[in-house]
Structure 1
């Protein structure tokens, strides 16, 4: 299998994302969710980073799509977010 084929797998990015959150130069303790888009394969993982639970989501979007998400705010406000 060619190296770029591995990037199709959801797990390919998890280690690097966890290492990023462990960076001592920044305080990432307030981050509870990471949403990224790569490949056509969707995936969700709950990971513990520095004793802190983080939900990591791959929306599975690729170059010709525009994924959007709903952000639910305090007191029921809702925003539609485009990436």
Structure 2
């Protein structure tokens, strides 16, 4: 298992300590969980569960529906 050193200001350190304690885990484990959650290369399951839930959502592949007109642009 590798180790890293984090330099945190006092306010951030207090937030880490409070969050770890509130979740019943060590600071190291809490930080590792946050990194896993935010550095993942996969969509969260709750997002994947929404796929196909909107029957009237226009898909780009649907060529039968024309694209809406562009909004008027402002010149510089």
- TM-score w.r.t. the length of structure 1 is 0.26
User: Which is higher, the Rg of structure 1 or of structure 2?
Assistant: 2
State the TM-score, normalizing by the size of structure 2.
0.27
Higher strand share: 1
Instruction: Say which structure is richer in helix.
Output: 2
